Structure 1
């Protein structure tokens, strides 16, 4: 990808890629060694895609990094505080929080961290016979999409119970987490494969359900609702659904539309509210909007399941764009980022 004309408009991944490449192979490799699979993939992709990086781009990134840490010294500042401050300044609160937890809270967690490099089916096989509370802790520690796929390989009767446990999980004692980590490390090696860790909670449950198929999501939420109606409502409020795209800014909608097929868009909009349809039309050329309106009118009745699949596909694209920093997605309640 070609660099932005204005270096200040570079995404976080692009800035990180420029910074890493300016360090040289040995230093960049050492930094990547301490990152998780998603960070490695995202930064590696950005590094491989860089094109026409100018000296001014490099100077801007290095200067920005220098300014972020220039007030920090090794005198009177704890190592944890220093790392937290640097990452917050460089990446922002939303993107830095997960990385901070991985570095500061999980720096000694070899077993739990190793799971993130495994295939979801392998993770499911490893944990399926554990106590449901242990399984909930493991799923909370994984990234939401990896957790969702792992859960799909677990018995259906367990899934609603796991979401309930994740949603009501508000911390794990360090001793218990260390013991779990050691057990997992021993199991993984056999298969050749500070404070309470802030994992779990209603938001974690909602994020995992965002990646679950619509039919399974409905079954799980119905079961959760029967057990705890208030909890089910709080989970639902934090889930990002297709209708929430109406809150994405115009530039974000335009970026999303460039990545979505017309066929999927027509199907998805058949089940959308008028406000979202208008938002989509507004961010298309006049001719394209007219053609889309015609397609919607001539499409005729469609199955609800086909609409839901199309909406899930578009939401998956939206999350990918959000992860790369190209668009911003707000949750239903207006808080947080996906």
Structure 2
């Protein structure tokens, strides 16, 4: 689109998730389906939700997204290499052995999703219903096996006493015998008609409990943490030390902050910064253009008092984006006990 002088107007900012959704919609059903087959449950859910929200996408935006994609893959020498060894090595280096194992099975071996992995594709409410009447230790193993954000959502469907029991058991888990994990997997496979066997034996732990707590709604997280400390003050402190909270964003490097800001809405940022420490606010300002920083300062002052619950919700939303970007290797989170590789 051009203005009256014939100059091309800049294309509006498009997030990575929206870019993926636009690209898939442009490819057509058959090709898009082939790509989605090789994506994990969280990625499919995020991209699918974004595809459902797309409307009035201009031709300029489609051309911009397509051009960016072609530029990104244009220099990739690995494109078109079909060697299994190459794919195995690439996925293992990118995801680690545990995360890559089931994906390699599905892509290279044509294996079906295991019973436990099938739960990752289900709605949190459905998972809650499946494990609701299982032994608490079984519940803890399942919660440990799921991704932290899904685990947090599943736990939100239980009452406070059950949540406390499960998260305490998750924190106490270190390893589980392969036979026990296989037995649980077999039970689930009978329900879901799964295939290959799970090999993971290390599961749970204090760090896992902290990761799950990170994704819980503030209204559930605070009382749960208080209950944990009532039962075991030392464990509560360990979990708290390992949790990545909003203030820990000041330990993220400048490039990471800049990448994160591109994915965060202005309204959420304003609300979140209302409750942030001054040094974190200054770090955010430093990583914006002078004009954008001035506008943000003005908006913060003009906003006036806001509810604590609104601030916490905005901070949680930004932290969720930050963790997803960290999982994708786009930024590195520091502080809060984040493991360094």
116, 119, 137: which is aligned to 2:123? 119
Distance in structure 2 (CA, Å) of the matches to 1:228 and 1:297: 42
What is the DSSP-based 3-state SS (H/G/I as helix, E as strand, rest coil) of the residue aligned with 2:76? helix
Task: Give the 3 Å change call, closer, same or farther, for CA 50–238 of structure 1 in structure 2.
Answer: farther
Distance in structure 2 (CA, Å) of the matches to 1:117 and 1:66: 27
Partner residue in 2 for 1:277: 281
* Contact 1:109–1:178 (Cα < 8 Å) also in 2: no
Partner residue in 2 for 1:180: 184
Task: Give the 3 Å change call, closer, same or farther, for CA 172–39 of structure 1 in structure 2.
Answer: farther
* Contact 1:173–1:196 (Cα < 8 Å) also in 2: no
How far 1:328 sits from its partner (Å)? 2.3
Distance in structure 1 (CA, Å) of the matches to 2:136 and 2:208: 16
Range that drifts further, 316-325 or 179-188: 316-325
Task: Give the 3 Å change call, closer, same or farther, for CA 101–158 of structure 1 in structure 2.
Answer: farther
| Cα RMSD (Å) | 3.9
* Contact 1:171–1:196 (Cα < 8 Å) also in 2: no
Partner residue in 1 for 2:77: 61
Question: Given the two structures, how large is their TM-score scaled by the length of structure 1?
Answer: 0.73
Note the 1:1-338 alignment, pairs <5 A. 36-38=40-42, 51=67, 57=73, 60-62=76-78, 83=88, 85-89=89-93, 91=94, 95-102=95-102, 110-188=114-192, 197-336=201-340
How far 1:131 sits from its partner (Å)? 0.7
Task: Give the 3 Å change call, closer, same or farther, for CA 159–101 of structure 1 in structure 2.
Answer: farther
Task: Give the 3 Å change call, closer, same or farther, for CA 174–209 of structure 1 in structure 2.
Answer: same
Question: Given the two structures, how large is their TM-score scaled by the length of structure 2?
Answer: 0.72
Aligned residues: 298
Distance in structure 2 (CA, Å) of the matches to 1:276 and 1:181: 45
Distance in structure 2 (CA, Å) of the matches to 1:150 and 1:311: 21
Distance in structure 1 (CA, Å) of the matches to 2:322 and 2:311: 16
Distance in structure 1 (CA, Å) of the matches to 2:308 and 2:302: 17
Range that drifts further, 217-226 or 146-155: 146-155
Distance in structure 2 (CA, Å) of the matches to 1:65 and 1:117: 29
Q: Where in structure 1 are there 5+ consecutive unaligned residues?
A: 1-13, 18-24, 71-81
How far 1:213 sits from its partner (Å)? 0.4
Range that drifts further, 49-58 or 207-216: 49-58
What is the DSSP-based 3-state SS (H/G/I as helix, E as strand, rest coil) of the residue aligned with 1:62? coil
Distance in structure 2 (CA, Å) of the matches to 1:175 and 1:281: 53
Range that drifts further, 152-161 or 297-306: 297-306
How far 1:233 sits from its partner (Å)? 1.4
What is the DSSP-based 3-state SS (H/G/I as helix, E as strand, rest coil) of the residue aligned with 1:172? coil
Post-superposition CA distance 1:206-230 (Å, at most 9, x none)? 1111111011001111111111112
* Contact 2:256–2:331 (Cα < 8 Å) also in 1: yes
* Contact 1:242–1:311 (Cα < 8 Å) also in 2: yes
Task: Give the 3 Å change call, closer, same or farther, for CA 156–245 of structure 1 in structure 2.
Answer: same
Distance in structure 1 (CA, Å) of the matches to 2:206 and 2:313: 25
Post-superposition CA distance 1:302-334 (Å, at most 9, x none)? 222121111112212223333443322234135
